[in-house]
A and B are shown apart, each in its own frame.
Chain A
Amino acid sequence: MCGTCGCGHDDEPVKILKPGEETHAHSYQHSHPHTHDDEGHTHTHPHQYTHAHDDGNETHQHDHADEHHSHPQDHHHHHDGEHAHDHSHDHPHVHDHAHAHSRQIAVEQDALQQNDRMAQRNRGYFEGKGLLVLNLVSSPGSGKTSLLEKTIARLKGKANIYVIEGDQQTLNDANRIKQAGAPVVQINTGNGCHLDADMVNKAVKRLDIKTDGILMIENVGNLVCPALFDLGEAQRVVVISVTEGDDKPLKYPTMFETSNVCVINKTDLLPYVDFDVKKTREYALRVNPQLKFFELSVKTEEGMDAWMEWLLKARQEIQS
Chain B
Amino acid sequence: MHEFSIAVNIVDIAVEHAEKANARRVNEVELEIGELSGVVYEAMETAMEAAIKDTLLEGAEVKIIRIAGRGHCSDCGKEFGLANLFDPCPECGAFNPEVLAGKELRIKSINVD
Chain A residues near B13 (CB-CB < 8 A): 107, 109, 111, 113-114
Chain B residues near A99 (CB-CB < 8 A): 27, 111, 113
> From residue 7 to 30 of chain A, which have CB atoms closer than 8 A to chain B?
7-8
Known contacts A1-B8, A107-B17, A111-B107; is-contact A249 B27 (Cβ 8 Å): no
Query: Distance in Å from the Cβ of A110 to the closest Cβ of chain B?
Result: 6
Q: Is A229 an interface residue (CB 8 A)?
A: yes
Known contacts A6-B4, A8-B5; is-contact A105 B112 (Cβ 8 Å): yes
Contact of B5 among A6, A104, A253, A288 (CB under 8 A): A6
* Contact status A1-B51, CB under 8 Å: yes
> From residue 202 to 240 of chain A, which have CB atoms closer than 8 A to chain B?
224-229
Known contacts A228-B6, A286-B96, A288-B96; is-contact A104 B11 (Cβ 8 Å): no
Q: Which of A108, A114, A225 has the most CB of B within 10 A?
A: A225
Contact of A1 among B39, B50, B105 (CB under 8 A): B50
Contact of B106 among A3, A109, A283, A286 (CB under 8 A): A109
Q: Is A147 an interface residue (CB 8 A)?
A: no
Q: Is A183 an interface residue (CB 8 A)?
A: no
Chain A residues near B112 (CB-CB < 8 A): 102-103, 105
Chain B residues near A115 (CB-CB < 8 A): 9
Contact of A228 among B2, B106, B108 (CB under 8 A): B2
Contact of A287 among B21, B96, B107 (CB under 8 A): B96
Chain A residues near B95 (CB-CB < 8 A): 285-287, 289
* Contact status B111-A107, CB under 8 Å: no
Query: Distance in Å from the Cβ of A266 to the closest Cβ of chain B?
Result: 24
Q: How many residues of A contact B (CB 8 A)?
A: 44
What is the 8 Å Cβ interface bit string for chain A, positions 93-135, against chain B (1 contact, 0 not)?
0000001011111111111111100000000000000000000
What is the 8 Å Cβ interface bit string for chain B, positions 77-113, against chain A (1 contact, 0 not)?
0000000111010000001100000000111111111
Stretch with Cβ within 8 A of B (4 or more), from A191-199, A299-307, A308-316:
A191-199
* Contact status A107-B107, CB under 8 Å: yes
Q: Is A153 an interface residue (CB 8 A)?
A: no
Chain A residues near B109 (CB-CB < 8 A): 104-108
Return 18 A-B CB contacts under 8 Å, by A number. Answer: A1-B50, A3-B11, A7-B5, A8-B8, A99-B27, A99-B113, A102-B113, A103-B21, A105-B23, A105-B111, A106-B109, A107-B109, A227-B38, A228-B38, A229-B2, A254-B36, A283-B86, A286-B88
**Residues of B in contact with A (beta carbons under 8 Å apart):** 1-2, 4-6, 8-14, 17-18, 21, 23, 27, 31, 36-39, 50-51, 53-54, 84-86, 88, 95-96, 105-113
Beyond contacts A104-B110, A113-B9: 19 other A-B pairs, Cβ-Cβ < 8 A, are A6-B5, A8-B1, A8-B5, A99-B113, A103-B113, A104-B111, A107-B108, A111-B9, A112-B9, A113-B13, A114-B9, A196-B5, A227-B38, A253-B85, A253-B86, A285-B96, A287-B85, A287-B86, A289-B95
Q: Which 6 A-B pairs have the closest CB atoms?
A: A225-B2, A6-B8, A6-B5, A253-B85, A254-B38, A286-B95
